[in-house]
Structure 1
Amino acid sequence: MKQIKHHLTEPLLMGYAAGTLPEAFNLVVATHITMCDTCRAALAEYEAVGGEVMLETDPVDVAEDALAATLALIENGRFAETPAPVRTQNSVFPGPLQDYVSGDIDSLKWRKVGGGVSQFVLNTSDDASVRLLRIPAGTAVPDHGHQGTELTLVLQGAFMDEDDLFATGDVEVANEDLNHTPVAAEGLDCICLAATDAPLRFNGFVPRLAQRFIGI
């Protein structure tokens, strides 16, 4: 694997360690750290700090019937065990992502969103959304800005924008200050995992018109 040049920010790693990120962002972070030794090591440090903080925190009493209530829920099937997803070796989708999708690239039901680009929306909590994007080599995504935060992790191929080149394993963290026109590099189709906590701000009329139908 090529050396990863674009990493997660400290606030994202801290939020993941603390459990404060939306599920969609958690998925991108979890997927990236399986690909990136640097971010995985940094996360371990934040988790260690969190563990020390917990050790210094005063214990909190729980209700006297807490154990009995939990056992009753288990007995009534509220916490029924579900089989773990089967993970595929050498898949383009790292382990955490395979837990959300069934199969690999060509087995997914991709939905066309215009300009040759396809998406596959993943089911997560409502506070942010996450989708797989399939961008044919040499294809440009419409010029757009952001109304919140967008995390884009490259799983296959690469894309470039006005700022830099993002290859496999790289993650671009975009916010309200960034306007760009990503273009998939030549070669393999660019497969990305993208999470957003607010709709994109497309600059062209046609993409803005289509936005309500594609939900990005």
Structure 2
Amino acid sequence: MSAITHHIPDDMMAAYAAGTLPHPFAMVVAAHVSLCADCRAALGSHHALGGALLEQTTDVAISSGLKSNLLALLDGPVNPEPVYDAQGIYPGPVMEALKGGAPRWKTLGMGVKQSILSETGGGSARLLYIPAGQAVPDHSHNGLELTLVLQGSFSDETGRFCVGDVEIGDEDLEHTPIADAGEACICLAATDSPLRFNAIMPRLLQPLFRI
């Protein structure tokens, strides 16, 4: 794997550690952390800081029935969620979204494909397959977009992004990502609002592709 040079910002890592990051973005952060030793260390620091802050908080009274309710839950049936390990280029958090299966690719045209993993009121997460040399239509953003490279690489106006790198796009970024030469680029992308495409055809197809 190439050296990871584009990481998760500290404020976003803090939100992920606190459990306040929306699910689509949390999926990207979790997948990146599984690939990046530096960000795993940063996450550990945030967890340690959170633990220290909890130890310093003032005690809060609890209801008299909390203990019995908790014991009743522990005595109830246990249905553990399955744990999915990384498979091939897909980290564990992506395999969890895929329920251990393979992506269900749907074509977007020009060889580009997508597989939607999560779609809620808080945003969406999807896998994107972009053939080498193919460009994603020029676009800007109505909100935040996180893009994690899982295979290959792509380049745009801000630089080059290889396996493990995360690009963070906001309302100020307008770009035309192009998959580099070599193998196809596969990315995990999360957004909290629709993209703003400049060309008429992508705008017309946007409701159909849900992007």
TM-score norm. by structure 1 comes to 0.91
CA offset at residue 58 of structure 1?
Answer: 1.1
Matching of residues 93-108 of structure 1 within 5 Å: 93-103=90-100, 107-108=102-103
> Does 1:60 pair with 2:60?
yes
- Give the Cα separation in 2 of the matches to 1:206 and 1:188: 27
CA offset at residue 75 of structure 1?
Answer: 5.7
Match of 2:4 in 1: 4
> Does 1:14 pair with 2:14?
yes
CA offset at residue 76 of structure 1?
Answer: 6.1
Matching of residues 197-212 of structure 1 within 5 Å: 197-212=192-207
> Does 1:140 pair with 2:135?
yes
Matching of residues 38-117 of structure 1 within 5 Å: 38-72=38-72, 80-88=78-86, 91-103=88-100, 107-117=102-112
Matching of residues 123-138 of structure 1 within 5 Å: 123=118, 125-138=120-133
Residue identity (%): 46
- Which residue of 179, 186, 190 corresponds with 1:191? 186
In structure 2, relative to structure 1, the CA distance for the partners of 1:169 and 1:127 (3 Å cut) is same
- Deviation digits for residues 85-136 of structure 1, max 9, x if unmatched? 44255x11012221111456xx422011222211111136431210010111
CA offset at residue 4 of structure 1?
Answer: 0.5
In structure 2, relative to structure 1, the CA distance for the partners of 1:103 and 1:72 (3 Å cut) is closer
- Give the Cα separation in 2 of the matches to 1:103 and 1:189: 22
| Alignment-mate amino acid for residue 61 of structure 2 | D
TM-score norm. by structure 2 comes to 0.93
- Give the Cα separation in 1 of the matches to 2:79 and 2:7: 35
Unaligned runs of 5+ in 2: none
Tell me if the contact between 1:32 and 1:171 (Cα under 8 Å) persists in the aligned partners: yes
Tell me if the contact between 1:102 and 1:108 (Cα under 8 Å) persists in the aligned partners: no
- Give the Cα separation in 2 of the matches to 1:74 and 1:201: 48
Tell me if the contact between 1:150 and 1:196 (Cα under 8 Å) persists in the aligned partners: yes
